[in-house]
Chains A and B, each alone.
Chain A
Amino acid sequence: MSPLSRFTSRWRSALRNLFARSRVQRELDADVRTYADLLTDEKVRAGMDPRDARRAALVELGGIERVKDEVREIQSGAVLETTARDVRYAVRTLVRRPGFTVVAVIALALGIGATTAIFSVVNGVLLRPLPYREPDQLVVILHEGRNPVAPANYLDWKQQSSLFSSFGAAEYWSGTMTGDVPERVQGLKVTSDVLAMTGINPLIGRSFRPEDDAPTGDRPVVLSWGFWQRRFAGSRDVLGKSLLVDGSSYTIVGVMPRGFDFPMFWATGVQVWTPLTLGERASSRRSQSLRLFARLRPGASVAAAQSQMSAITGNLEKAFPGTNPAVVVAPLDTMVVGDVRTALLVLLGAVAFVLLIACANVAHMQLARASARHREMSVRLALGASRTRLLRQLLTESVVLSLVGGALGIVLAKAGLRTLVALAGSSLPRAETIGLDPAVLAFTTVVSLMTGLAFGLLPAVRVSRSEMAEALRDGARGSTEGAGRSRVRSILVASEIALALVLLAGAGLAMRSFAALRAIDPGFDPHGVLSAVVSVYGTAEAPPGRREAFYTSALERVRQLPGVESASLVNHLPIAGDVWGLQFIIEGRPRPEPAQVPRATFRVVYPGYFRAMRLPILRGRDVTEMDRVGAPRVVIVNDFFARRHWPNEDAIGKRVSFNPAADTGTWFTVVGVVKNDVRSDWTAPPEEEVFLPYAQEREYLEGNGGHVGYMTLVIRASCSAVKACNAASLAPALRDAVGSVNRSVPVTDIQTMDDVIAGANAGPRFTLVLLATFAVVALVLAAVGIYGVISYAVSRRTHEIGVRVALGASPATVVRLVIAQGMRVVAVGVVIGVAGSLVASRLMTKLVYGVSVTDPLTYAGVAALLAAVALVASYIPARRATRIDPLVAMRTD
């Protein structure tokens, strides 16, 4: 018989078996019964009494049902058939024990739900390739892996390198779009290769062409999908229309598709792209403002590109000393994911631990139940069920349980994800790609199945192996349970304790680290400060003579608002704003080598900035209205600057120049020293910082560029004992106050300083909240585990405890006896857990700040916490044990 026809014959049978099930089964039944009848007839013919003959025939047959069962086993489709029967049986069993089922399903749903949620984040952020053509080939080229590059370097690199198929530059651009409603737009200036490099075509129109790099006439602009929808209602005839940004006209040539974002790690949420024209800047080696993007030629590696670029840079440094910091070629996806990778992997590990604990919990609940079901199983074995059948059926029960848990887990994950993404805030790149997609659902299904097998296998094997005779004896006597099974349960609980401890230690470290972050003194008092960007660029207030007057009168109106204690202006807000540097030299000191000229962060401020920020002036004075163009140039330095450069002298009265190249530079006199404040990175140690009065800065007063066309308002809300500082509520009044001076000047980026700082710490907070949540879940599950095991042990030892009480054991002795049993297990778990955490916490080295990952206090703390919870969890059943009435206990035999 050919394999094919045999296969088709089997298939027909399988279909018949499945779909004409009742007919097939009826026939089988009749067939076997006829056999019995014929056998009986035979025996009667041989002279037996009909009733004896019948009985003998049935004995010989070995049971009609059993024979039918054996046939069913071999029938095609039997696996499905049996599984369906097992599932129905499992559901019935689970429904009959709602207490167990509900607790198990909740534990599993928590475990699987948390795993699903974290996995969908990992999937969206780490696993999915970036949405560009061959994203592996895209690299980012920056100085020292993060600093922008000067135009001349870009051009030299582009010309001299050979491993890239395209090489482009981008520069941040933001401007005021004038029109009915003035608006600040976030933009990016890009060379024509950049958008093309992504391999993503515009939705409508075109992106840039090489000729756009040196445009004639109106500059072209490409819109983002979101901006197009919002400003032009998605109309297709925007192409060719013009856009007025900062007073210049741009022609719309294309719209990028929905969701397009590049390069994701920087300048996210770009609304408009326009060509980058270097013009006379092309020869500059100092103004470092470009971020470079390149696509590797097929076959070229990042390492090869890196060594080539380093070599080129080495040569450039010989030709142009002091202008070539180390170059780093980094894959784009590494830049996008950044530090989040470690955090996410730690969280994924943590969540796997939660799931393992849930498994262990359900496993020993199953074990406890298994003992109760011992008799059921023994009876079924005695009636001829095979062990494999029992094993399969018990596993089916576990898998049904875990799939129900998984389904509920998906619901939990869906609800939790939104919170998760909101919590992560800007610390999570590609947040929009996070969701429960088919990959995640497939993952969850597999995890649920594996979970079911994991917690079901051990109890199932134990039960199906149970010896009939022993089971019947053991079950009947209700004696102290066999040592073997109790050891398995103890091991399960000890592992739960160990896993929970690892999680608690992780959460403890995250908490200490977060506390250390919170304890950082930003120098100023952020609480009660509201900030807003006011941009005159491209408006009627932009001309050189008008800017200062506008800012001054806007500031006047804001200061008069009720609830405003003080207000001032600064060019860049600490943390949220840009950080610009200036090279400086100190009067009377030898001139340093070009590469060694020190740099200071500089801010341009209005009088009253320090008061509004509550950044204490340690010595000297604030900037005043008298510090104007024409008056002697003054500067205020931070404490770090003063101590570093005039360690044993008073900085006040000393002079610095911000023009290290020229011999006849302008000297600035230090008139004040302020406390160190944070600049952009919350945890960075202090560095030199200088503050210059706005009214003396010609670039700001008259300069012609978007970068000097805005200032940031900082407002200190007045707080009293009865009224809490509510800086955010000042926002509408602030808008009106600025608008009353000139309605066309946009007020944007209104945010409280508290929010700014919260945003800066969003990453650590995300890690902390999740680790803490998982640790709490783990703690609860472990407590339930201990409670369950001890309660069960007590119930199994009722008889023994009854005897002890009868012999005069005091309640205290009984409590000690029971708790000691629990605490032995806990102690083992804690020891293993501490060892495990010491290993696991190494992964957290990059995630913690201000605390060692082996911090003894944290470990001692979480071990004590866990032990205390375990103590309580075993005390409850211990109390119950003291109430055992010896008479009742002994009668339960």
Chain B
Amino acid sequence: MTDRQTNLLQGTLDLLILKSLALGELHGLGVARRVEQITRGTFQVKPGSLFPALYRMEEAGWLASSWGASENNRRAKFYKLTAAGRRQLDAETTEWKRIAVAIGFALQAT
């Protein structure tokens, strides 16, 4: 995700992270890779954006974290959605869809 995209898609990163965690807990790199995967490589989240977002969302109470072992047995911090995080994901999804539809209309207008 480039700097320009960050500016453009301020709220989008949150939504993508929430979405990537919807299926289960992941560590930092896991989140980055998952976002890449679910956006088919369109968004590459850099650590400089990822970590502030994770910590901010954790402070907001959307994410919870715990330390555990990674697939290749490294001690890593795993993030998962809290109940509040799920509600937030739903809310942001609805909002996003509404905007997407609206933008779609706007672009079709002649």
Q: Tell me the bound Cα distance from A60 to B45 in angstroms.
A: 11
Chain A residues in 8 Å Cβ range of B51: 28, 31-32, 35, 67-68, 70-71
Contact of A66 among B48, B62, B70, B77 (CB under 8 A): B48
Chain A interface extent, by class: 20 to 34
Q: Enumerate chain B interface residues (CB-CB to A < 8 A).
A: 27-29, 46-48, 51-52, 55-56, 58-62, 70, 72, 74-77, 84, 87-88
A651 CB, nearest partner CB in chain B, Å: 98
- Contacts A6-B84, A32-B47, A38-B29 known; 16 new A-B pairs at CB < 8 A: A1-B62, A13-B58, A30-B75, A30-B77, A31-B28, A34-B75, A34-B77, A38-B28, A38-B76, A41-B72, A60-B46, A67-B51, A68-B51, A70-B52, A74-B55, A75-B55
With A1-B87, A10-B60 as known contacts, state yes or no: A34 contacts B27, CB within 8 Å.
Answer: yes
Chain B residues in 8 Å Cβ range of A565: none
Contact of A71 among B55, B75, B77, B88 (CB under 8 A): B55
Contact with B along A37-80 (1 / 0, CB 8 A): 11101100000000000000000111000111011011110000
Q: Tell me the bound Cα distance from A1 to B62 in angstroms.
A: 9
- Tell me the interface secondary structure of chain B in the complex: helix
B57 CB, nearest partner CB in chain A, Å: 10
Contact with B along A5-42 (1 / 0, CB 8 A): 11001100100000000000001101110110111011
Q: Tell me the bound Cα distance from A9 to B58 in angstroms.
A: 9
Residue of B46, B61, B75 most packed against chain A (CB within 10 A): B61
- Tell me the interface secondary structure of chain A in the complex: helix
Q: Enumerate chain A interface residues (CB-CB to B < 8 A).
A: 1, 5-6, 9-10, 13, 27-28, 30-32, 34-35, 37-39, 41-42, 60-62, 66-68, 70-71, 73-76
Residue of A10, A71, A75 most packed against chain B (CB within 10 A): A71
Q: Tell me the bound Cα distance from A576 to B9 in angstroms.
A: 83
12 contacts between A and B (CB under 8 A): A1-B60, A1-B84, A9-B59, A9-B60, A34-B76, A38-B70, A41-B72, A60-B46, A67-B47, A67-B51, A71-B55, A74-B56
Chain B residues in 8 Å Cβ range of A31: 28, 51, 76-77
Chain A residues in 8 Å Cβ range of B58: 13
Question: Number of A-B pairs whose CB atoms are under 8 Å?
Answer: 79
B22 CB, nearest partner CB in chain A, Å: 16
B77 CB, nearest partner CB in chain A, Å: 5
Whether B27 contacts A38 by the Cβ 8 Å rule is yes
Whether B59 contacts A62 by the Cβ 8 Å rule is no
Question: Which of chain A's residues has its CB closest to B29's CB?
Answer: A38
Contact of A1 among B48, B56, B61, B70 (CB under 8 A): B61
Chain A residues in 8 Å Cβ range of B55: 28, 71, 74-75
A72 CB, nearest partner CB in chain B, Å: 9
Question: Which of chain B's residues has its CB closest to A75's CB?
Answer: B55
Chain B residues in 8 Å Cβ range of A68: 51
Chain B residues in 8 Å Cβ range of A27: 77
Whether A38 contacts B61 by the Cβ 8 Å rule is no
Q: Tell me the bound Cα distance from A30 to B77 in angstroms.
A: 8
Whether B52 contacts A73 by the Cβ 8 Å rule is yes
Q: Tell me the bound Cα distance from A734 to B51 in angstroms.
A: 91
Chain A residues in 8 Å Cβ range of B72: 38, 41
A336 CB, nearest partner CB in chain B, Å: 57
B35 CB, nearest partner CB in chain A, Å: 14
Q: Tell me the bound Cα distance from A6 to B58 in angstroms.
A: 11
Q: Tell me the bound Cα distance from A348 to B94 in angstroms.
A: 62
Q: Tell me the bound Cα distance from A28 to B54 in angstroms.
A: 11
The 7 A-B residue pairs with the shortest CB-CB distance in the complex, in nearest-first order: A9-B61, A13-B59, A38-B29, A1-B84, A34-B76, A31-B77, A35-B28
Question: Which of chain B's residues has its CB closest to A27's CB?
Answer: B77
Whether A35 contacts B29 by the Cβ 8 Å rule is yes
Residue of A31, A73, A76 most packed against chain B (CB within 10 A): A31
Whether B52 contacts A5 by the Cβ 8 Å rule is no
B11 CB, nearest partner CB in chain A, Å: 15
Residue of A13, A34, A76 most packed against chain B (CB within 10 A): A34
Q: Tell me the bound Cα distance from A396 to B110 in angstroms.
A: 54
Question: Which of chain A's residues has its CB closest to B58's CB?
Answer: A13
Question: Which of chain B's residues has its CB closest to A63's CB?
Answer: B48
Residue of A5, A35, A37, A61 most packed against chain B (CB within 10 A): A35
